[in-house]
Chains A and B, each alone.
Chain A
Amino acid sequence: MRPISYRDCERNITLEPGTQNMKPETINNNFKTEEYFVNMGPQHPAAHGVLRLILTIDGEIIKNVEPDLGYIHRSIEKMCERDSYQQIVHLTDRMDYLSSHINNEAVCLTVEKALEIEVSERVKVIRTIISELTRIASHCLWWGVMGMDVGALTTYFYGFRDREMINDIFEETCGARLTMNYNIPGGLMFDIHPNFVKRTKDFITHFKTKLPEYDRLLTGNVIFQKRTKGVGVLTKEDAISFGTSGPVARGSGFANDVRKRHHYSAYDRVDFKEALFTEGDSFARYQVRIMEMWEAMKIIEQLIDTIPEGDIKTPTNAVIKLPKGEYYQRVETARGELGVYINSTGTKNPYRLKFRSPGFSNLSVLDHITKGAKIGDLVATMASFDFVIPDIDR
């Protein structure tokens, strides 16, 4: 008997005594497969944060994905019960830090709804422009890391180059590049910088020449398409049942754009298309975000030349007390629908405040659509979901 060689293992057969001269069909496959657990995270580059997935795998095939959350849980909802409404706005920056302005807006809109404050047209338009700039910045970053997750390192630098310009605009107007804190209940903290309009227009002109470059570099790339087309398919029924929102839902044909369905700020007066694709795979989710960047530029162009004059602040009491009742407000962040539920008993703190974060609901569908896929496909699917972990953990 000769020892089992590497070649034999590759052929997936075991030779037993006396089998050397046997015909191939009589050779038994004695290799057994076994399910085992692998930790993906909490420090995994593809998770873009501290997300731990407990994978049950059989070879390369995924049998089960169980997310283990809480590595960056700060219990923001409990902290909100202690804080005043002005303070709560600043906490929301730390949830989905790539859509910090939109998060701030969600809380401000809820408080304004409860106090029945009507903010000026100027505030509405400025909020909308900055929200859309935030969306472009967030999608730029996502586009960069999506390419990197599937092996295209160059995209990262392209994405960050353009995002940097938006951050500079924010820095000039808000004083901060990431956690902007520009919204306050009743309006804006201060007026826009005199350069804001010009620089935003310059950016739009610049980005219009750069976005086709994104397509040339990644969208049409054969390797990229093979990694994403048909990978992580989510049907429309599942998208609704799992409560997904944002580009994840719209990639499956589930039209749930809050900007269209429940108008807020200045979205009622702008003309834009809801990005909708029906394939439901990772590539469809990719296309939704690329299209959203075009639509965001369209929205900004419609508003930037006609920012109305008006107050930037509607005065509120120094101590804001919401009337007794329940208030709910939904906004569309770069990741999907963010809901703010405030239950007030009439005091200066909320009795209960709940953030319905888009990432949390989107994460719940991950196990469902990656069963039976390979680990590499899980990475591509996660990249197309665009998770921000502090948004999931809160």
Chain B
Amino acid sequence: MDLMKDYKMNNSELQNLIGSWFPNPEADKISKIVTTSETEEGSEEDAKVQEPINPSLLEFTEEASEFLNITVQPEQLHSLMSQLKSNEKTCFDYLYCLTGMDWGVELGVIYHLESIDLLHNIVVKVKTANRENPTLDSVYDIWRTAEFHEMEVFDFFGIKFNNHPNLKRLFLTPDWDGYPLRKDYVDEANMIIK
């Protein structure tokens, strides 16, 4: 166990490694523009206006959470997840919590991941603004436990998962109207609203 602790990565190491998998093509272009404009006059003003460019397509934050949080676009979700599992430096083999989430405007899923041997934790978030027909990729082929948890998310949030083997209502009856854990769900018969 002590040996393994040497391989444990802290949050900034994880951020650098995972961020480098998804380089932001925009970051390259803009940094070039900045460097060219620096040769001309008035570069200081430009630099003030310029926001710091995220070098990665992923967003990282450690604010208000004990774990490193990654926000990923739905298109990159599956490839990020399979790399997190298969890369021998990250090796996130234990998906211990999969939470459906309604942020008010966006719907999404939060994945809590842990590496059994390397002992590090990470949180991945994915959001979609489409409330009518929210669709995300299933991670069932990476962690089998996702099959059940995604069914639960579908049941309560109505998020559909591509390539899911058996997406159906798990707790509620098939003819249930609406998705109860969404914030805009109203059920006058069964809910007490303060």
Q: Which residues of A contact B (CB under 8 A)?
A: 69-70, 73, 75, 77-78, 82, 238, 240-245, 254, 256, 261, 323-328, 330, 337, 339, 341, 343, 352, 354, 356, 360-361, 363-365, 368, 393
Contacts and interface: CB of A to CB of B under 8 A. Distances in A.
Given A327-B65, A360-B152, 10 more contacts: A70-B170, A82-B192, A254-B116, A323-B64, A326-B69, A327-B66, A328-B112, A352-B99, A352-B102, A361-B149
A341 to B, nearest CB: 6
B97 A341 contact: yes
B84 interface: no
Interface string B180-194: 110000000001111
B148 A364 contact: yes
Interface in B136-181: 143-145, 147-149, 152, 156, 170-173, 180-181
A111 to B, nearest CB: 14
B112 A339 contact: yes
Contacts of B110: 341
Contact of A343 (B93, B101, B119): B101
Contacts of A256: 94, 116
B180 A78 contact: yes
A244 to B, nearest CB: 8
Contacts of B124: none
B86 to A, nearest CB: 13
Contact of A361 (B148, B156, B193): B148
A364 B147 contact: yes
29 contacts: A69-B170, A70-B170, A70-B171, A75-B181, A78-B191, A82-B193, A82-B194, A240-B93, A242-B145, A243-B94, A243-B95, A254-B116, A256-B94, A256-B116, A325-B65, A326-B69, A328-B67, A330-B96, A339-B96, A339-B97, A341-B97, A341-B99, A352-B101, A356-B112, A360-B149, A361-B148, A364-B144, A364-B148, A368-B144
A374 B81 CA distance: 37
B97 A356 contact: yes
Given A328-B112, A360-B148, A240 B94 contact: yes
Contacts of B173: 70
A363 B148 contact: yes
Given A69-B171, A73-B171, A356-B97, A238 B67 contact: no
Interface in B95-146: 95-97, 99, 101-102, 110, 112, 116, 119, 123, 143-145
Question: What 7 A-B pairs have minimum CB-CB distances, sorted nearest first?
Answer: A325-B64, A243-B145, A70-B171, A364-B148, A356-B97, A354-B99, A241-B144
Contacts, number: 88
A302 to B, nearest CB: 22
Interface in B67-105: 67, 69, 93-97, 99, 101-102
Nearest to A243: B145
Interface of B: 63-67, 69, 93-97, 99, 101-102, 110, 112, 116, 119, 123, 143-145, 147-149, 152, 156, 170-173, 180-181, 191-194
Contacts of A69: 170-171
A77 B144 CA distance: 24
Contacts of A368: 144
A368 B194 CA distance: 44
B170 A241 contact: no
B104 to A, nearest CB: 9
A30 to B, nearest CB: 35
Contacts of A238: 144
A240 to B, nearest CB: 5
B62 to A, nearest CB: 11
A75 B181 CA distance: 9
Contacts of B192: 82
B123 to A, nearest CB: 8
Nearest to B190: A75
Contacts of A78: 180-181, 191
Nearest to B125: A326
Contacts of A75: 180-181
A232 B12 CA distance: 42
Given A75-B180, A341-B110, A354 B97 contact: yes
Nearest to A337: B96
B97 to A, nearest CB: 4
A244 B152 CA distance: 17
